[in-house]
Amino acid sequence: MLAAMPSAGILIIGNEILSGKVTDANSPYFCRELRALGVDVERIVTIPDEIATIAHEVRAMSDRYDLVLTSGGIGPTHDDLTIEGVAQAFGLPVEHSESIETRIRLAAGGELNQSQRKMAQIPLGATLLDAGDLWFPLVIVKNVYIFPGVPELLRKKFESIRTRFQGVPFVLRRVYVRRRESDIAADLNALLVEFPELMLGSYPRVGEAEFHVLLTLESRDAGYVVRALDALLARLPADAIHKVE
Cross-strand pairs, 69? 10, 145
Higher per-residue confidence, 110 vs 67:
67
pLDDT above 80 (res 101): yes
Question: How do residues 3-55 score in pLDDT, each as one tens digit?
Answer: 568 999 999 999 999 999 999 999 999 999 999 999 999 999 999 999 999 99
Please give the C-alpha separations between residue 181 and each of 186, 194, 212, in angstroms, as whole numbers. Answer: 10, 19, 8
> pLDDT by residue (tens digit) across 178-221?
999 999 999 999 999 999 999 999 999 998 899 999 999 999 99
Residue 77 scores a pLDDT above 90: no
- On the 0-12 / 13-18 / 19+ scale of CB atoms within 10 A, 238 is exposed
Whole-angstrom CA distances from 51 to 14, 119, 124 are 11, 16, 17
The amino acid occupying position 173 is: R
pTM: 0.84
* pLDDT band, residue 240 (cuts 50/70/90): very high
Confidence of residue 1 (pLDDT cuts 50, 70, 90): very low
Task: Count how many Cα atoms sit within 13 Å of the Cα of residue 100 in the half-sphere of its side chain.
Answer: 20
Query: Is the pLDDT higher at 116 or at 191?
Result: 191
